[in-house]
Structure 1
Amino acid sequence: MATILVTGGTGTLGRHVTERLSADGHEVRVLSRSSRPHAVDLRVGGAALDTALAGVETVVHCATSTRGGDEKAAGNLIAAARRAGVGHLVYISIVGVDRVPLGYYRSKLAVERMIERSGLGWTVLRTTQFHDLVARLLGALGRSPVMALPGGVSDQPVEVAEVADRLAGLAVAAPAGRVPDMGGPQVRSFESLARAYLRATGRRRAVVDVPLFGETYRAFRAGGHLAPERAVGKGTFEEYLERRFAD
């Protein structure tokens, strides 16, 4: 079985990928800033990163930060992967990184381009947003008595465990370049998602659509982050909410 390193292997997606690969009998190394024995800050790199990659055949790169530093981290990872003779680098990206002018999306797109030019065998999968991210956003918006939503915006949340299954499958296959996007099963208005969240949490809030301004908002409103033609996910937002708020 292959030796596979998962960056961000303790995170929302990475831990699921690690579990899937381990269950299939692969030797999996988890790399994050706090995991032992491979505690590495990818933005710094160094000898500890080289040690973590020694003998690794495939890297699944799940580590990311909305606070910046992804491009620096990717540069260090790619350089170390070359030194270690890694044969396959699998990267998780986001649907719409080339259409929505959000700073974090631009950084993810830049990392895609770095991987494509790396000289390594590579695979990139773009997915829509995970259920838990949508729930966290709605939870923050629901702290106010009035839940103000971005008017006219829809989303297509996908189950993180299904994305992990897809990534694990890609990791043990040959490098495939940019593979087809993966979207959740339904394109939903934010209002419908918000009302489902309120029902599941037992909250009562007024829900109001608020028109916003700017290029990023227009791109989201136009559906630049959606993949309706790739609605291959199975788990719905309601099913996720039922599990999360079962008590």
Structure 2
Amino acid sequence: MEVLVTGATGRLGRVLVPQLRDAGHGVRQLSRRGAGPGGVRGDLATGRDLGPALAGAEVVVHAASDPRGNPWEVDVAGARRLVEAVDRTRLRHLVHVSIVGVDRVPLSYYRAKYAAEQVLLASGLPLTVVRITQFHDFVDELLDTARRGRLLPVPMGWRARPVDVADAAAHLTGLVDAPPTGGVVEFSGPEELSVADLARSWAAVRAPGAHVLATPVPGRLGSALRDGGALPVRGEHGRRTWAEYLRG
């Protein structure tokens, strides 16, 4: 099928696009410049060129996001622009990539992601919202940023179920051929771990000799994540473990 991917140059998109092509789909990659093989120009933040970019697309995998900029403009308003521009005469399935916990974790970015979900769910389009847990390589980067010399402070009592980005891409590729659910599904890694255990195994490989210090995090955010706000309630799981990622 003809698949258009937003966010094709991001962490997930760079792995997803080759998998979609290997599955036999024609893939267009939406970006502001339209660069690269299969690149088409379109801007979710302004709506410019979205109509021509989306014309003829049978499936849209919407993975674009702006966690470091203005997610209310790109994620939420961008979702509205996408709904207005999509080719309803051709669209069979819109697969929207979101994050496990957007409805429970009190972060501004998560609130924007949840609002974007609501825009799409109310659109009447044939869609599936896929909430995914944090990617292994993102957790890797977070722990590296958190380390202070030989000390690695992490939140006490938080638990996570990180997933390999290739497993997530394979799951999304399978959904492209599946009928839309019309609702929200979840996808996560194969094992639930405490953040302290994630950090200890990370330190053993990345920073031998570093000491992991679990410290309490007060407030609503700390409470939500101690209560499992970042954990899936249901759904399918990937296969590659955190330990396998670190060894790889």
TM-score (norm 1): 0.91
Is residue 164 of structure 1 aligned with residue 169 of structure 2? yes
Q: For residues 239 and 107 of structure 1, what CA distance do their matches in structure 2 show? A: 33
Aligned to 1:26: 25
Q: How does 1:78-157 map to 2 (within 5 A)?
A: 78-82=83-87, 85-157=90-162
Count of residues in correspondence between the two structures: 241
**What stretches of structure 1 move > 3 A for 4+ residues in a row?**
82-85, 228-231
Q: Helix, strand or coil: the match of 1:147?
A: strand
Q: How does 1:66-81 map to 2 (within 5 A)?
A: 66=67, 67=69, 68=71, 69=73, 70-81=75-86
Aligned to 1:64: 65
In structure 2, relative to structure 1, the CA distance for the partners of 1:242 and 1:228 (3 Å cut) is: farther
Cα contact 2:127–2:180 (8 A) shared by 1 = yes
Q: What is the deviation of 1:231?
A: 6.4
Structure 2 unaligned segments of length 5 or more: list them.
none
Aligned to 1:55: 56
Q: For residues 233 and 88 of structure 2, what CA distance do their matches in structure 1 show? A: 40
Q: Helix, strand or coil: the match of 2:153?
A: strand
The sequence identity of aligned pairs, in percent, is 42
Pairing partner for 1:44 from 31, 34, 46: 46
Q: What is the deviation of 1:110?
A: 0.8
Cα contact 2:96–2:128 (8 A) shared by 1 = yes
Cα contact 1:56–1:84 (8 A) shared by 2 = no
In structure 2, relative to structure 1, the CA distance for the partners of 1:195 and 1:34 (3 Å cut) is: farther
Cα contact 1:42–1:73 (8 A) shared by 2 = yes
What is the identity, as a one-letter code, of the residue corresponding to 1:61? H
Q: What is the deviation of 1:35?
A: 3.9
Q: Helix, strand or coil: the match of 2:41?
A: coil
Q: For residues 49 and 211 of structure 1, what CA distance do their matches in structure 2 show? A: 46
Cα contact 2:54–2:87 (8 A) shared by 1 = no
What is the identity, as a one-letter code, of the residue corresponding to 1:12? R
In structure 2, relative to structure 1, the CA distance for the partners of 1:117 and 1:241 (3 Å cut) is: same
Cα contact 2:128–2:185 (8 A) shared by 1 = no
In structure 2, relative to structure 1, the CA distance for the partners of 1:32 and 1:203 (3 Å cut) is: farther
Give per-residue Cα distances to partners, 1:25-67, cap 9 Å, x unaligned.
1110011234424233311112x21111111111000011113
Aligned to 1:16: 15
Q: Helix, strand or coil: the match of 1:158?
A: coil
Aligned to 1:174: 179
Q: What is the deviation of 1:161?
A: 0.8
Cα contact 2:31–2:43 (8 A) shared by 1 = yes
Q: Helix, strand or coil: the match of 1:177?
A: coil
Give per-residue Cα distances to partners, 1:90-145, cap 9 Å, x unaligned.
10111111111111111111111111111211111112111111111101011443
Q: What is the deviation of 1:229?
A: 5.2
Q: For residues 180 and 84 of structure 1, what CA distance do their matches in structure 2 show? A: 25
Structure 1 unaligned segments of length 5 or more: list them.
none
Larger displacement relative to structure 2 (198-207 or 7-16): 198-207
Give per-residue Cα distances to partners, 1:174-218, cap 9 Å, x unaligned.
211225321211111111111111111143222111111111111
Q: What is the deviation of 1:82?
A: 4.9
